Amino acid sequence: MDDIYTIDILFPEGSSPGHEYKFVNGGTYESTPNRALTIDDSSPTMVLPVAYFENRDPADYTDIEVMVHFRVDMSAETVTDPYVAGSVHPLVWGWDAGWNDSLRLFDDGMHDDGAAGDGIYGAHIWFPPGSYRYVEYKYTTDGTDNEPLPPFENHSFELGDAPHQTLPIDLFGSLDNVVEKALPKDFKVDVSPNPFNSAANIRVKIPKTGNVILEMFDIHGRLMANVYTGQLHQGVYDFVWEAGESSSGLYLLRVRAEKMEKVEKIFLVK
């Protein structure tokens, strides 16, 4: 079977030459405007060119499964039940059709959404082979249709031919995207001010996701503080070390990130 369907229709003598028509699939009419037919009675037979249902060419559908990475900045919103909705399966307009967990958004640092709790929510959605390429979508913070986009407008994108596709970070309530800062490619540690009086600001640039440990030692090698221990994604992070009752002098900050390590000299002056 080639999925091309045909029908022969006999128009009796005296029929009007002009007609409008649509195709129906499973009881659903095409949503496109009516098609037009003008009968050419110079021949008893007339063959129309092949038409595509909904005017969708086979090239408008994917050949492979595509994983799409959605991200949205909801940092200015109150978020209770976040999802992404849309026009192409597996996306649905969930406030009408109901939600499933595969469409839920997360801000846990585990869905390529950046740092946990930063207000950037993300999800990985798998579109099966044969998906219509032109996708409209929008977000919800509470499971209802509450993203305030302009009337009759949605976010949109086109499914490509690569197995993975990452969309720009959307801004909730806007059709504009968030301007992303360039991610660091090198491991770097900066401390300011240095010398410092009571608190040192530590900026760490992480070139790849991994476990990171920040530790402060005195000049004798004794551990003074564990500033941070945990997993960080590629990005730039700021920490503060409060010297407290520590005495003036030289201190050593050691930062370890997977197989990378840096030691910075810090001077406390009181």
CATH of residue 237: 2.60.40.10
- Per-residue pLDDT averaged across 88-105, rounded? 96
Residues 160 and 196 in one domain: no
Query: Which residues, listed in sequence order, are joined to residue 252 by a DSSP beta bridge?
Result: 217, 265
Q: Is residue 121 part of a domain?
A: yes
The rounded distance, in Å, linking the Cα atoms of 188 and 193 is 16
Q: What sign does the CA torsion over 223, 241, 258, 187 have?
A: negative
Kindly report the pTM of this predicted structure: 0.57
Give the residue numbers spanning the domain of 126: 60-171
Q: Is residue 178 part of a domain?
A: no
The 3-state DSSP class for residue 19 equals strand
Q: Is residue 176 part of a domain?
A: no
Q: Is residue 181 part of a domain?
A: no
The rounded distance, in Å, linking the Cα atoms of 259 and 108 is 25
Residues 101 and 167 in one domain: yes
Residues 150 and 77 in one domain: yes
Residues 100 and 167 in one domain: yes
Q: Comparing 152 with 179, which gets the higher pLDDT?
A: 152
Residues 121 and 81 in one domain: yes
Residues 87 and 165 in one domain: yes
Phi, psi dihedral angles at 41 (to 5 degrees): -90, 20
- Per-residue pLDDT averaged across 109-129, rounded? 91
Burial of 105 (0-12, 13-18, 19+ CB in 10 A): buried
Q: Is residue 180 part of a domain?
A: no
For the segment 5-64, what is each residue's pLDDT rounded down to a tens digit?
899 999 998 899 999 999 998 888 888 899 999 998 888 899 998 888 888 888 889 999
Q: Comparing 109 with 139, which gets the higher pLDDT?
A: 139
Identify the pLDDT of residue 245: 85
Residues 82 and 163 in one domain: yes
- Alpha-carbon Rg for the chain in angstroms: 29
Residues 118 and 147 in one domain: yes
Q: Measured in whole angstroms, how far is the alpha carbon of residue 203 from the centre of its chain?
A: 27
Q: Is residue 112 part of a domain?
A: yes
Q: Which of 10, 28, 55 is at the close of a domain?
A: 55
Residues 65 and 152 in one domain: yes
Phi, psi dihedral angles at 88 (to 5 degrees): -120, 130
Identify the pLDDT of residue 7: 92
Number of folded domains that form the chain: 3
Q: Pairing relation of β-strands 18-21 and 134-140?
A: unpaired
Residues 31 and 127 in one domain: no
DSSP secondary structure letter of residue 61: B
Q: Is residue 179 part of a domain?
A: no
Of 207, 209, 182, residue with least CA distance to 262: 207
Sheet holding 223-232, edge to edge: 223-232, 210-218, 249-257, 260-268
Q: Comparing 263 with 58, which gets the higher pLDDT?
A: 263
Identify the pLDDT of residue 181: 64
Residues 68 and 42 in one domain: no
- Per-residue pLDDT averaged across 116-124, rounded? 92
